[in-house]
């Protein structure tokens, strides 16, 4: 018996790393595969957790919006691996093109599929696109749905998934963030080579911004940039590698004295920067979760979120992409300086990887001593 775990992007790698560690910790043979969707970023993220891909696939280099060809490429490259490895099951995460491609390839070979972070929904097929449709399709293809929260489990049950195939295990982002937090929280920003040149330790207020959603590229992103110009604090923006996104942000913000534009950061540096920030602005699902776990006030630059649990603690707020709304909310957060108590209870207890590992260990055979 062995499992094949497929990741393609950095967020997938970060969230599935604790799952791989949990599986191997109870003796479940696990083959870790990177699809080549974001090869460098995914491999670097895995290394933070002491993991190296067993199989590296080289996807054909394509633009960020070439979704159809990328999906076909993932299916074509993962299918021979599945045939050769003949795993007992394939594990995928979330809602990426890699996850959907690997699930479709496994389905065509009648290999059972486990979907980690199943059951997330906005209820709008176009927001986020294509992720909302991807995760619905992956859930339908899956033998087991590993729901991160009770709400996600209830959604899956309402959609008709068999009760014994839906398991509430928590969100592995809590495992990952806590692991990295323990490594970096006692360090200064100046001790991280990626952050050292910017003297962040001496500033009174820092605002972190991330944005990468396809639906925000264009006028919404320009409105976000206009809001950033109005924020009365140092703004640090690690740019996503999407060249169209980078072009717009640089057009709008390069030269603004209070804005620092950075290349993509390593995961430890990103966690350290979140810990240093008074406010986080993001359209990322993963950053919503990470900031929530770390107790950082966060404004979500979207109209909908598939993670409503993080809104309930009061430190995460949907704000949309209107310039005035973002600027006003960010200024309010900075003036208010709310108490930053981390509350990761809605997302889990930091033992998701261990829980999935033990479930597979007990389902397929006795646990290793």
Check whether residue 137 and residue 186 sit in a common domain.
no
Residues 147 and 214 placed together within one structural domain of the fold: no
Say if 176 falls within a structural domain: no
Q: What is the pLDDT of residues 89-117, one digit of tens each?
A: 999 999 999 999 999 999 999 999 999 99
Structural domain contains residue 369 = no
- Total domains present in the chain: 2
Residue 60 confidence (pLDDT) above 70: no
Tell whether the model's pLDDT for residue 303 goes beyond 60.
yes
pLDDT at 368 over 50: no
Query: Are 267 and 283 members of one domain?
Result: yes
Structure confidence at residue 183 (pLDDT): 93
Spatial neighbors of 311 by CB under 8 A, at least 6 apart, are 305, 317, 318
329, 353: one domain:
no
Mean pLDDT of 240-267: 92
336/358 same-domain check: no
* Residues catalogued as catalytic: 95, 117, 131, 212, 214, 240
Q: Are residues 152 and 49 in the same domain?
A: yes
145 and 253 belong to one structural domain: no
The predicted structure's pLDDT at residue 327:
96
For residues 72 and 138, membership in a common domain is answered with: yes
Q: How confident is the model at residue 1 (pLDDT cuts 50, 70, 90)?
A: confident
Residues 32 and 139 reside in one and the same domain: yes
Find how far residue 294's CA is from the centre of its chain: 15
Average pLDDT, the chain: 91
Query: Is residue 34 very low, low, confident or very high in pLDDT (cuts 50, 70, 90)?
Result: very high
For residue 220, is it within any domain? Answer: yes
- Cα–Cα distance between 107 and 298 in angstroms, integer? 38
DSSP structural state of residue 95: T
Beta bridge partners of 114: 91, 144
Give the pLDDT confidence score for residue 344 in this predicted structure: 47
**Same structural domain, 132 and 249:** no
Q: How far apart are CA 45 and CA 54, in angstroms?
A: 15
Are the beta carbons of 344 and 10 closer than 8 angstroms? no
In percent, the amount of the chain with pLDDT more than 70 equals: 94
Together in a domain, 38 and 133: yes
For 178-191, what is each residue's pLDDT tens digit?
A: 999 999 999 999 99
Percent of the chain predicted with pLDDT > 90: 76
Q: Does residue 214 lie in a domain region?
A: yes
| pLDDT band, residue 366 (cuts 50/70/90) | very low
Of residues 54 and 296, which shows the higher confidence score?
A: 54
Q: 132-190 pLDDT, tens per residue? A: 999 999 999 999 999 999 999 999 999 999 999 999 999 999 999 999 999 999 999 99
Query: Range of 143's domain?
Result: 3-171+348-364
pLDDT of 343 higher than 60: no
Q: What is the pLDDT of residue 61?
A: 58
Answer whether residue 86 shows pLDDT above 50: yes
Is residue 79 a contact partner of residue 109, using CB atoms and an 8 Å limit? yes
CATH for 336: 3.40.50.2000
Segments in 159-242 forming alpha helices (H): 172-184, 219-230
Are 322 and 223 in contact by the 8 Å Cβ rule? The answer is: yes
Q: How far apart are CA 184 and CA 121, in angstroms?
A: 33
The answer to whether the beta carbons of residues 178 and 275 sit under 8 Å apart is no
Q: Does one domain contain both 86 and 196?
A: no
């Amino acid at each position: 018996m062995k499992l094949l775990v497929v990741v393609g992007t950095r967020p997938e790698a970060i969230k599935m790393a604790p799952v791989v560690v949990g599986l191997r910790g109870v003796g479940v043979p696990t083959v870790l595969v990177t699809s080549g969707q974001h090869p460098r970023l995914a491999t670097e993220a895995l290394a933070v957790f002491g993991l190296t891909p067993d199989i590296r696939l080289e996807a054909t280099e394509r633009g960020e919006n070439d979704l159809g060809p990328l999906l076909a490429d993932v299916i074509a490259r993962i299918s021979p691996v599945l045939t050769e490895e003949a795993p007992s099951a394939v594990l995928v995460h979330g809602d990426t093109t890699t996850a959907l491609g690997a699930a479709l390839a496994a389905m065509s070979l009648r290999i059972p599929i486990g979907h980690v972070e199943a059951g997330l929904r906005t209820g709008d097929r176009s927001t986020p696109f294509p992720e909302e449709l991807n995760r619905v399709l992956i859930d339908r293809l899956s033998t087991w749905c590993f729901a991160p929260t009770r709400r996600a489990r209830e959604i899956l049950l309402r959609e008709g998934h068999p009760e014994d195939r839906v398991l509430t295990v928590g969100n592995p982002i809590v495992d990952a963030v806590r692991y990295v937090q323990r490594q970096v929280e006692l360090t200064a920003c100046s001790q991280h080579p990626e952050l050292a040149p910017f003297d962040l330790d001496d500033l009174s207020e820092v605002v972190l911004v991330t944005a990468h959603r396809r639906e925000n590229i264009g006028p919404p992103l320009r409105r976000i940039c206009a809001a950033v110009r109005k924020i009365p604090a140092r703004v640090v923006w690690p740019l996503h590698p999407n060249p169209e996104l980078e072009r717009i942000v640089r057009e709008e913000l390069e030269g603004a004295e209070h804005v620092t534009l950075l290349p993509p950061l390593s995961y430890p540096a990103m966690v350290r920067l979140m810990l240093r920030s008074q406010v986080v602005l993001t359209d990322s699902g993963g950053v919503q979760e990470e900031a929530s776990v770390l107790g950082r006030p966060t404004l979500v630059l979207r109209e909908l979120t598939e993670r409503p649990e993080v809104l309930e603690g009061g430190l995460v707020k949907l704000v949309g992409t209107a310039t005035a709304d973002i600027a006003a909310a960010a200024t309010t957060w900075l003036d208010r300086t709310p108490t930053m108590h981390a509350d990761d209870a809605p997302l889990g207890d930091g033992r998701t990887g261990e829980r999935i590992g033990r479930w597979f260990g007990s389902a397929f055979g006795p646990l290793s001593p």
